[in-house]
A and B are shown apart, each in its own frame.
Chain A
């Protein structure tokens, strides 16, 4: 079974621009979560989607948004990029059932904002 895939793997953007990151979950997984990883703040939860609905959201400004499509693929968007948005963005998918709830992570997208 293919794992979680994320595209692109690396991205360089300029302050003020916007960016869209993509995540394809493991086949059959309906839950997709996004995390931001930085050296200072560590791993922080951004949001989670399940069956195209945002179920939970972390403490991030409205510039960070996401969506999920009917095939469970997800995208996250960051508008008006700031230098502090430079980070590794990790996507994770899960079956999200009572007996199978662990999250499997993709390789991440490393975003650099200059």
Chain B
């Protein structure tokens, strides 16, 4: 069975601080897909990134970066120089290979609060 663990329930930072959101996953599949989503107070889940299990290259997109470590089953997300607009709940999710992206197993989410 698949499982995603986001151990940090809530993180509070002051604007311009860097923050890392942790994600640890469990799966028996050798090929799988990982995702991060952002859920602002409006409720809509916003897609941030996807990663294949066979592509361990880290990725940077503006202030966002992701560190995929297959050896430790982790897919951590770092926000550099955080801003108030980054305040949201962030979800890490896992999908099995056989059904590409069709069944997402989500972590419980990490609520990030960025104060001015």
**Min CB distance, B61 to chain A, in Å?**
14
Contact with B along A76-101 (1 / 0, CB 8 A): 00000000000010101010111001
**Chain B contacts for A51, CB-based, 8 A:** none
* B: number of interface residues (CB 8 Å): 23
**Chain A contacts for B103, CB-based, 8 A:** 33, 45, 48, 56, 58
How far apart are the CA atoms of A90 and B47 in the complex, in Å?
A: 13
* A: number of interface residues (CB 8 Å): 28
Question: Within residues 53 to 98 of chain B, which ones have a CB less than 8 A from any CB in chain A?
Answer: 91, 95
Given contacts A43-B91, A101-B50, contact A48 B102 (CB under 8 A): yes
B20 interfacial contact with A, CB 8 Å: no
How far apart are the CA atoms of A104 and B37 in the complex, in Å?
A: 10
Contact: B99 with A55, CB < 8 Å? Answer: yes
Chain B minimum-CB-distance residue to A98: B100
B7 interfacial contact with A, CB 8 Å: no
**Chain A contacts for B108, CB-based, 8 A:** 42
How far apart are the CA atoms of A45 and B104 in the complex, in Å?
A: 7
Query: Which residue of A45, A96, A103, A108 is within 8 Å of B47 (Cβ)?
Result: A103
Measured CB to CB, the residues of B under 8 A from A are 33, 35, 37, 42-47, 50, 91, 95, 99-109
Given contacts A101-B95, A103-B101, 18 further A-B contacts (CB under 8 A): A31-B101, A33-B103, A35-B106, A45-B104, A48-B103, A56-B102, A58-B103, A90-B45, A94-B102, A96-B102, A101-B50, A101-B101, A103-B47, A105-B44, A106-B44, A107-B43, A108-B43, A110-B43
Measured CB to CB, the residues of A under 8 A from B are 31, 33, 35, 42-45, 48, 50, 55-56, 58, 88, 90, 92, 94, 96-98, 101-108, 110
21 contacting pairs across A/B (C-beta < 8 A) = A31-B101, A33-B103, A35-B104, A42-B106, A42-B109, A43-B91, A43-B109, A45-B103, A45-B104, A48-B102, A50-B102, A92-B45, A94-B102, A96-B101, A101-B101, A101-B102, A102-B47, A102-B50, A103-B47, A105-B44, A105-B47
In order of increasing CB-CB distance, the 7 nearest A-B pairs are A101-B101, A105-B45, A43-B106, A101-B100, A107-B44, A48-B102, A102-B50
